[in-house]
Chain A
Amino acid sequence: MITLNHYLFVSGALFALGLAGVVVRRNIIIIFMCLEMMLSAANLALVGFSRFRVTDGLPDYAAHSLVFFTITVAAAEVAVGLAVIVALYRTRQSVEVDTITRMQG
């Protein structure tokens, strides 16, 4: 029997993996993928919580609606984000974070 805790565990693991990827990886595209993974982790937690909060035999759909918004927003974010990353690649011929260290201090 799969309980809420299983979903939360997977969600937490996904989130931690994503966060670790953001911190450790140097390639901006990979970092961006890790960020999307964190959003998916949050979505999984939302759906899990919503599915297990049953009233009158039906799950609470409030959090489901937020998941749809999150998916849409993530798509918009990717569209804009990739455009910015492509612009960076065109000027620097690289998408490593080490190339964007001109401003410091």
Chain B
Amino acid sequence: MSVFNLEALLALLGLFVLLLEAFVPSVSSKALAGICMAGVAGVLVLLVTVAGGQDALPAFIGAYHQLDTLAIFYKAFALVITFLVLWLTLEAAPYLSKFTLDGKLGEMFSLPLFVCVGMMWMASAKDLVTVFVSLELVTVSFYVLVAYTRKSALALEAGVKYLILGALSTGVLVFGVAWVYGATGALSFEGITKAVQVGGVNKTALLFGVSFLLAGLGFKVAAVPFQMWVPDVYQGASTPTTVFLSVGSKAAGFAVLTRVIDALTVSGSMVRQEVITVLSIAGAVTVVVGSLPALFQTNVKRLLAYSSISHAGFLLLALAARDSVRVDLAPGGTVAFYLATYLPMTVLGFAALIQMRLNGRGEELDDFKGLAQKSPTLAFLITLAFASLAGLPLTAGFFGKMWVMLGLVDQQLWFALVCAIIGAAAGFYYYFRVILAMFTPEESTEPVRMGALARGVCVVLGCTIIVLGVYPKPLQMLLAKVPVAGKNATGH
């Protein structure tokens, strides 16, 4: 059993669930979700157990597929977030099913599996063809997922917006790939790395292609100026899909960006300085542009969308300051660490939104009033998630933000540092506004209840936030082994 078969297994499971849902009407949502979650958990176990004693990949696949630490990390990340999204979908089923045509959730369980397959392939991609195909597998599945609850006017609107802007980014991306290929004569990251080092490449053509390539990827990770779709799509899509977009799609985008940036900024590269400048400016502006509108948001789901843009900015800055060696993280490791801390807090934040909906409350700031009296557990968990999103010390979000800023100091990117500090400070204001609302007393006394399973999963996520915030060493050690580009040509 080789690791590269895992994607195939998962795709087969997805097809099986799709057919099961179509031809066996008696099977319930719960059973479908159970099968999918068991399958994803099983693949995760296989990945963890097999990944250690990995043999060399066979030649036919070794040219397209690599299995370094980073690839295995992002594969595990994709599986974990898919599992949580499936759980959230099941959790939100009572109100989500009102918005589908047949009152069932059907493909909302099989499509995340295909998205997961795409993300796993992307994590291992060694060339731009594989990146493109797996990216599109993810994006096309998301077109369906975003618009799936189509009786909701907002979901359909979000679906169309995501479709148009997603297709636009695809066009831009392929155009960029074409020019990068034209300039370097290579589609593989290895070939591009060599071409930019050796020289003899038309620099103007290369920069032209790289700017389109980065713009295309910028759409996927919601970097300024390609972030316009985020608030609308996140607000309109069903909450489990929003989580998937916010965490999964972003992580996959950054997995690819890490590889692309690795190839382009290898030491001695002719476009190194330009790429780092563009990254730091885009990251800095993204942090600010994400943070400022969030200050005035009254819809918490939309607030989390803006916060997601601001986090994308921090991740871009982590890529810009990638040569900093202050912490024990290899280049690309800081991004991976940041994403690993971003996962539990974002999922917990959105899971709380689902619990609010299940209790007949909305997603506005006023709906959070008095929550501390009615459900102290939920209020405490939301406080934890939002404090971590803001980057409070002793929570998971702290180290990610701190290391990014330290990296910026090391690289002397002062403009970016100032923007990052403004963004972080603004974050404290708008996240704590929600926390303050929860602790404001309110007259009405309808209780807020949580199911036992929901409570259990949320507490586990909360514990992860604290553990990562207090003792991040193990994760740091794991990611310290991320190899540097150019030295891992064989991909082990």
Interface residues of A (CB under 8 A from B): 8, 11, 15, 18, 22, 28, 31-32, 35, 38-39, 41-43, 45-46, 48-50, 53, 60, 62-63, 65-66, 69-70, 73, 76-77, 80-81, 84-85, 87-88, 91, 100, 102-105
Q: How far is the CA of A76 from the CA of B167 in the complex (A)?
A: 11
Partner of A100, one of B136, B144, B157: B157
| Docked-complex contact B170 and A18, CB < 8 angstroms | no
Asked whether A100 and B161 contact (CB < 8 A) given A66-B129, A66-B132, the answer is yes
| Bound-complex Cα distance A77 to B140 (A) | 6
Interface residues on B, range: 35 or more
Q: Which residue in B153, B159, B181 is a CB contact (below 8 Å) of A63?
A: B181
Cβ contact within 8 Å between B153 and A91: yes
A14 to chain B, nearest CB (A): 10
A69/B177 contact (C-beta < 8 A), A38-B171, A81-B163, A103-B232 known: no
7 inter-chain pairs at a CB distance below 8 angstroms, sorted by A residue, are A46-B174, A66-B129, A84-B143, A88-B159, A105-B231, A105-B293, A105-B302
Identify which of B140, B144, B172, B302 contacts A73 (C-beta below 8 A): B140
Q: Which residues from chain B contact A39 at a C-beta distance below 8 Å?
A: 170-171, 174
In this complex, what residue of B is CB-closest to A74? B170
Tell me the complex Cα distance, A46–B183, Å.
11
Q: Check A85/B160 contact, CB under 8 A, given A63-B187, A69-B129, A77-B170.
A: yes
A66 contacts across to B, CB distance below 8 A = 128-129, 132, 174, 177, 181, 187
Complex alpha-carbon distance, A18 and B175, angstroms: 12
How many A-B residue pairs lie within 8 Å, measured between CB atoms?
A: 125
Grouping DSSP codes into helix (H, G, I), strand (E, B) and loop, the B interface class, with mixed when no group exceeds half, is helix
**Contact between B129 and A65, CB atoms less than 8 A apart:** yes
**Are A45 and B156 closer than 8 Å at their CB atoms?**
no
Tell me, yes or no, whether B418 is within 8 Å of chain A by CB: no
User: Which of A49, A53, A73, A100 is the one whose CB lies under 8 Å from B132?
Assistant: A73
Question: Is chain A's interface secondary structure helix, strand, loop, or mixed overall?
Answer: helix
List 6 tightest A-B contacts by C-beta distance, closest first: A38-B171, A49-B182, A42-B174, A45-B178, A42-B175, A46-B178
Closest to A49 in B: B182
Which residues of chain A have C-beta atoms less than 8 A from B157's C-beta? Answer: 88, 100, 102-103
A62 to chain B: which residues have CB within 8 Å? 129, 181, 186-187
